Amino acid sequence: MRSIIPYLLFLFLLVMFTCSCRRDKTLTDPSAKLSFSMDTVLFDTVFTSIGSSTKQLKIYNNNNSKVIVSNIRLGHGNASPYRFNVDGIPGPSVKDLEILAKDSIFLFVEVTVDPLNSNSPLIVTDSILFETNGNQQDVNLVAWGQNAHYIRPDTYLQGLPPFSIVCDTTWTNNIPHVIYGYAVIDSLCKLTIEQGTQIHFHNNSGLWVYKGGSIKVNGTQDLPVVFQGDRLEPYYKEIPGQWDRIWLNEGSIDNEFNYAIIKNGLIGIQAETLEGFMGNQLTLNNSIIKNMSRSGIFSRFYKIQAGNTVISNCGLYAAELTMGGYYEFNHCTFANYWNQGTRKTPSVMVLNYYKDQNQQVYASPLYKADFNNSIIYGSLEDEVLVDDIGQGVDFNYGFNYTLVRTAKELSGSLVYKNEDPQFTDITKGDFSLKPNSFAIEKGSPTFVTGVLITDINGNIRSGNPDLGAFEFTP
């Protein structure tokens, strides 16, 4: 028995030595990756004074050998408002940090911002970059840069975007409102938005008026309500697709947008009824929808009445009116000079059916689609598509005293075709009229009622009005 003890001791020491050597070996494989406790370090404190907050990030080496992280650094370097300390070593750059096999280290990061500085961005972002054996990984850093009302999702349901409920409240213009995920106006709830309010959406975020809910936007000519993305750097000023949409569901009633600017999203307003007409209504006056990567308005069997409204520069359609419904556009300007890629679809499409993603066709009556004293123009040779599915389904539309770029024969009391409206500056999105515009005094006074007595800029219409949202003023 004694003779075997030295042998077993030798085997034990040999195994320990072998394992120790294996664990001390440095992994140089370029495919070696680190793992992190989170992919984004989010500073979710709403600062009320100059604020500093510290968060913790854990860095894992799940490999069977140690690794050497050649560089850990802040993306913006010394200019970053963030600071970090990793394994007791301060940044903004730490080199040649060793992490043993199956081990981990802690990184602590903090940020200091002045939320009372109105010139700072709403969202302060950076990243921590990790370079290991030639490959680079990163962890995002996100903090609030200004005082704002931050609406963050608290409900997660399969098949729906993350959302939070908004009910019977008023959004004021004292500080901006920033939406992450979807803000949902629930059934029988109402959201009122005061003049001058600034609303910012994070990527893929939106506003959703659910069944039985309603929204009222009370902008004015001097203080419009603005819906846009949360990136306020000059580069993003006119970039489409930065957020998702304003979504009006069936049963949402008395929805009003007055002097609203809706820009730089995927869809400006999506208004749809899928369970039968339920009195759904959207009133849109003196508003601008622009720079949408899909559509300015996307409708399925809804009731929309719009006046003095400009819809411009959308990737597919300015107005995508499908599955029938009830529509009246008075003194509206549809101007589609999309320059972010190739557009092959017309500015305005009117259908009494809809095809889903499986090409299943759903027919529904088009009770009315009238365009009165309006302009529909753009960069394509034909900017209108009207298509009737037949099958005895109602299909009623009219272009009345409206200037259209098209080769089609269209129904209406007076259709002006292919006359250049002479917009002031399409490159700058100025769709007012030049002195020699064909659209001057081509409208009918019949449609000049209510809010349409003045144009979108408050200029009085008299006699035979000009077409579109703008009345020419010398």
Q: At a CB cut-off of 8 Å and minimum separation 6, what does 192 contact? A: 169, 170, 171, 215, 216, 218
* Whole-number pLDDT of residue 201: 94
* Whole-number pLDDT of residue 279: 64
Alpha helices in 25-151 (DSSP H): none
In the predicted structure, residue 471 carries a pLDDT above the cut 60: yes
Percent of the chain with pLDDT over 70: 91
d(CA 222, CA 241): 27
- Assign 345 a pLDDT band (cuts: 50, 70, 90): very high
Lowest pLDDT segment from 18-22, 173-177, 324-328: 18-22
Q: Would you call 359 exposed, middle or buried from its count of C-beta atoms within 10 A (0-12, 13-18, 19+)?
A: exposed
* Whole-number pLDDT of residue 12: 55
d(CA 261, CA 264): 10
* Whole-number pLDDT of residue 9: 56
> 21 or 227: which carries more pLDDT confidence?
227
**Distance in angstroms between the alpha carbons of the first and the last residue of the chain:** 114
Calculate the average pLDDT of the chain: 90
* Whole-number pLDDT of residue 25: 86
* Whole-number pLDDT of residue 5: 60
- DSSP 8-state symbol, 284: E
In the predicted structure, residue 432 carries a pLDDT above the cut 70: yes
Residue range 230-247, pLDDT digits in tens: 887 778 889 999 999 999
C-alpha distances out from residue 421 to 182, 314, 318, 328, Å: 39, 19, 17, 21
* Whole-number pLDDT of residue 227: 98
Paired sense of beta strands 361-363 and 353-355, if any: antiparallel
159: left (phi over 0), alpha (psi -120 to 50) or beta: left
User: Within 10 A of 130 (CB to CB), how many other CB atoms are there?
Assistant: 22
* Whole-number pLDDT of residue 119: 67
In the predicted structure, residue 47 carries a pLDDT above the cut 60: no
* Whole-number pLDDT of residue 113: 81
Residue range 352-381, pLDDT digits in tens: 998 888 989 989 999 999 999 999 999 999
* Whole-number pLDDT of residue 276: 60
d(CA 306, CA 348): 14
- Assign 24 a pLDDT band (cuts: 50, 70, 90): low
In the predicted structure, residue 118 carries a pLDDT above the cut 80: no
Task: For tokens 């069997």, name the residue.
Answer: 301
Q: Which tokens hold the place of 321?
A: 């009116």
